[in-house]
């Protein structure tokens, strides 16, 4: 057996041993408007983060806008005190295979949209049952608003270093996450997760 083949086999075995949350097929990211806005050509690519809470799989799907030299949070594109889709394109969506509490908002298994109202020191987290509307804030109609599960306030803090691309990550990564971190520009928002 060659050294290269032995290395590849050892690497494959090591990667297979890394725990990853098992995601049911119904936790796949939902995309919209792909005929007019194909995924491959979007300036804000679709991304996702998978994790578990209390042994149940969850996934957040979102568009990742970039700063590209612009002030976004607190600027014209994402002004403080105004509703934001928390990403780009489709609304940010959370899919969970079991009960989950996001910032204290209790959710049964299912799919939800996540909106926020950014502020310099505090953000409003909004969880909504509606996942069929395009993400633009003008599509957050009274009919969509009526499907809100709840709202909660969380603190904003300074990021250790500037973040070019909007990022959502689980903390700790992978299994038994206790928070979702939203990071962009020079801001970090920690959203508590629990069962």
Q: Give the model confidence (pLDDT) of 61-117 as tens digits.
A: 999 999 999 999 999 999 999 999 999 988 999 999 999 999 999 999 999 999 999
In a domain, 181, yes or no: yes
Query: pTM of the entire structure?
Result: 0.82
Contact, 86 vs 115, CB < 8 A?
yes
Residue 9 has pLDDT above 60, yes or no: no
In a domain, 121, yes or no: yes
Burial of 96-118, coded b for 16+ CB within 10 Å and e otherwise, reads bbbebbbbebebebbbbbbbbbb
In a domain, 168, yes or no: yes
Q: What angle do CA 49, 50, 54 make, to 5 degrees?
A: 135
Range of the domain at 31: 23-194
In a domain, 17, yes or no: no
Using alpha carbons, select from 102, 161, 158, 100 the residue that is nearest to residue 126: 102
Domain count along the chain: 1
Contact, 66 vs 32, CB < 8 A?
no
In a domain, 15, yes or no: no
In a domain, 16, yes or no: no
């Amino acid at each position: 057996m060659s050294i290269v083949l032995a290395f590849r086999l050892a690497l494959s075995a090591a990667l297979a041993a890394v725990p990853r949350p098992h995601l049911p097929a119904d936790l796949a990211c939902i995309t919209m408007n792909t005929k007019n806005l194909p995924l491959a050509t979007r300036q804000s690519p679709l991304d996702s983060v998978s994790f578990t809470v209390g042994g149940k799989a969850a996934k957040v799907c979102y568009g990742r806008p970039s700063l590209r030299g612009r002030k976004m949070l607190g600027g014209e594109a994402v002004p403080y005190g105004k509703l934001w889709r928390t990403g780009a394109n489709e609304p940010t969506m959370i899919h969970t295979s079991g009960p989950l509490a996001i910032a204290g908002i209790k959710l049964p298994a299912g799919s939800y949209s996540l909106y926020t109202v950014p502020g310099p020191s505090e953000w409003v987290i909004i969880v909504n049952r509606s996942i069929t509307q395009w993400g633009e804030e003008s599509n957050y109609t009274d009919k969509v608003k009526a499907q809100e599960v709840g709202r909660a306030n969380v603190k904003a803090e300074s990021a250790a270093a500037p973040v070019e691309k909007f990022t959502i990550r689980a903390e700790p990564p992978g299994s038994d996450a206790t928070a979702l971190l939203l990071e962009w520009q020079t801001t970090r928002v920690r959203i508590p997760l629990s069962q």
